[in-house]
Structure 1
Amino acid sequence: MGQLALAAKITHVPSMYLSEIPGPRFGTRQSAIDGHQEISRRCRTMGVDTLVVFDTHWLVNAGYHINCGQHFKGVYTSNELPHFISNMTFESPGNPALGHLLAQVANDYGVETLAHDATTLQPEYGTLVPLRYMNADQHFKVISVSALCTSHYLSDSARLGWAMREAVEKHYDGKVAFLASGSLSHRFAQNGLAPEFAHKIWSPFLEKLDEQVLRMWDQREWKAFCEMLPEYASKGHGEGFMHDTAMLMGALGWTDYDGAVDMVTPYFGASGTGQLNAIFEVTPQKGEHIPAAQASSAQGYTAVSTRL
């Protein structure tokens, strides 16, 4: 029926918005903006109707949540970085029907998920920044999924992604893009050093760690990447504990994924963190290695199982 037409890992650095404003940072994030616009162009060419964003700035402490309001409109200032994003306007149509469908199938797979349509809750900037460059004309409908999960297993997030693709392909009449909105390593520069690290990674260790991950992606070492994801999330200071990445990999097939990655914005440093825009080839799912419904490990929320 429906189709997961495009899947990507994307940046949402607030300096993208800052780079629009005349001043010392003007134009410095054009490559990231160009990457978002290229993703938008490809989605339009493929006939995508809805962007589903796994947002590592939406913090939740229990359950998984889907913001599928009818329409989003407002003016946003970041409470985290108000000197980077201040009074940014936004507007996008929502897709309540798809949001409830995603939640229903996720629950069928044993992942407790709630869809919210009758809500005053607005998206966080992990969703709003990409939409600024991908959906300025409100061409796409938008759904935001909580991906800063404080008390959750990565394996459940992977299973959530798997279930959401099942919902799209078996029950939805349309084409959808899944966007994992979060960084690679995410250790911010120490207070007072942010300007010095505006275009740098915080440490050589984190930079080398990210570079090794990118080599694994290039060589399609997906089983090894999924198995190392818990430690990568921990030792790499993963944004949102890398639940967005687990959701993306689950949707793509988890350890059985065998696709290629197209880097539309090369890896770059931002305030100490490692960023990129990368489109993942969508290949047919195989049923052998569905992420486990639960994990029991001393690693707590970072635990991942590669088998059912």
Structure 2
Amino acid sequence: MGKLVLAAKVTHVPTMLLSEMEGSLKGLRKAAIEGHAEIGRRAIAAGADTAIVLDTHWLVNAGYHINANKHFKGTFTSHEFPQFIRDLDYEFEGNPALGDLIAEKANAKGVSTLSHQIDSLDLEYGTIVPMRFMMRDLEKKMKVVSVGAMCTVHSHEASRKLGEAIMEAIEASDSNVALIASGSLSHKIWPNDIYAQNNGTMTISSEFNRQVDLRVLELWQKGDFDTFLKMLPDYAEYCDGEGDMHDTVMLFGALGWDKYKGRGEVITEYFPSSGTGQTNVLFSLPQ
């Protein structure tokens, strides 16, 4: 019987990669990188053998989709930010059985979901970036399953059910899983014509969004998830949640939604990036 052993909401900003290169941004995202490394260490210490990543950079327009290939290997350049992520090599083992099981459980709930094993189906950087930094220094590596979470025509209710299906699949499997919601908090990127004049790479585009982000982190740390879940639809809409925050909806669906009684632990303090609000947070699980 499998088990969820770690749950997290994490950043995947491309500047994490630039932070390790010579140049004006060197060291800028050290805290975020260290946060990923800490989450990776805790996942392995908790016994995780697989990471399921809810990827808000994988855009899906119909149904839900799971990249459950047995092996991932490639060289990635971002279509969105080729100046930030280019020629990035990656290689991870996959867990096809778990991906297929998630789809089976989701379809049983009436949530149309496909699990794919296609060698030419690349991973997106919402999966590649956190997996790179979480596992880079670990002797033991986790397998990877990626779930598309930039959902354009999907309801939060369906994504909540998909989260439930993910938990059911984990418990019916032989895998110990780290569930990673990969996406920002607020996500209003600076308009292109004023990006540079506002030092866009290192600032927030909306003080309102920053204040709501900070309130959300406060609610998570206090364990007030009833209030958070009530505000989540408006938060996603009015603060431009990345991928309409379907990654977060899936995560809390897996955690039990309004029955979840844990607390959030901020691993990386809140920081702005290109107008957006970012952090790394772990959610406590029952012993």
TM-score, normalization: structure 2?
Answer: 0.96
Partner Cα distance (1:121, 1:254) in 2? 31
**Shift, 1:56, TM fit:** 0.2
Aligned-partner residue type, residue 122 of structure 1: D
Aligned-partner residue type, residue 257 of structure 1: Y
Deviations, residues 151-204 of structure 1 (Å, cap 9, x unaligned): 0001111111111111111x1112001100000000001214445022221111
Residues 178-193 of structure 1 correspond to what in structure 2 (within 5 A)? Answer: 178-193=179-194
- The residue aligned with 2:73 is 73
Q: Does 1:250 align with 2:247?
A: no
- The residue aligned with 1:45 is 45
- Work out which of the residue numbers 269, 277, 282 in structure 2 matches 1:279: 282
- The residue aligned with 1:59 is 59
Root mean square deviation of aligned Cα: 1.3
- The residue aligned with 2:152 is 150
**Shift, 1:283, TM fit:** 3.3
- Work out which of the residue numbers 165, 168, 171 in structure 1 matches 2:170: 168
Aligned-partner residue type, residue 124 of structure 1: E
**Shift, 1:262, TM fit:** 0.9
SS at match of 2:202: coil
SS at match of 1:134: helix
**Shift, 1:71, TM fit:** 0.7
Say if 1:257 and 1:283, in contact at 8 Å, map to a contact too: no
Say if 1:92 and 1:135, in contact at 8 Å, map to a contact too: no
How many residues align? The count is: 283
Name structure 2 gaps, 5 residues minimum.
Answer: none
Name the stretch that deviates more: 211-220 or 272-281: 211-220
TM-score, normalization: structure 1?
Answer: 0.89
Partner Cα distance (2:195, 2:115) in 1? 37
Aligned sequence identity (%): 51
- The residue aligned with 2:88 is 88
- The residue aligned with 1:296 is none
Name structure 1 gaps, 5 residues minimum.
Answer: 285-308
Partner Cα distance (1:254, 1:239) in 2? 20
SS at match of 2:200: coil
Partner Cα distance (1:140, 1:46) in 2? 12
**Shift, 1:235, TM fit:** 0.1
Partner Cα distance (1:194, 1:176) in 2? 39
Deviations, residues 86-139 of structure 1 (Å, cap 9, x unaligned): 111111011111110111111112211100013410110000111111123671
Aligned-partner residue type, residue 259 of structure 2: D
Partner Cα distance (2:21, 2:179) in 1? 29
Name the stretch that deviates more: 113-122 or 146-155: 113-122
Say if 1:252 and 1:283, in contact at 8 Å, map to a contact too: no
